[in-house]
Amino acid sequence: MSVVFAITFALLSVAGLLVIVRLLRGRTTLDRIVAVDVFVTLIVASACVGMGYLQDASNIALLLAFALLAFIGSVSAARLVERKEPYR
């Protein structure tokens, strides 16, 4: 079963690296906002896998707080971009 956890971690890590490449290359601020949002999703998924591996779910509230924080951050950053850049 630990092989399964290792494979899952490896896949999520590769996905995280690809997202970081997009985060660095960016082009626009909105691309980076999307990349950060996806990155947080990947972190939540890997934290879940880690909790399954350790058989210990005492940090489960952390996941909810993290998802909430990512949502608020993405929404407010998107609003900020919308306000700053001109209307077409």
Residues that bind another protein (CB under 8 A): 1, 4-5, 7-8, 11-12, 14-16, 18-19, 21-22, 27-28, 30-31, 33-35, 37-38, 41-42, 44-45, 48-49, 51-52, 55, 57, 60-61, 63-64, 67-68, 71, 74-75, 78-79, 81-82, 85, 87-88
**DSSP alpha helix (H) spans, the chain:** 2-25, 29-54, 60-84
Cβ-contact 77, 33 below 8 angstroms: yes
Residues 60, 51 contacting (CB under 8 angstroms): yes
- Beta-carbon-side half-sphere exposure of residue 63 (alpha carbons within 13 Å): 15
**Least distance in angstroms from the C-beta of 22 to another protein:** 5
What's the closest the beta carbon of residue 63 comes to another protein, in angstroms? 5
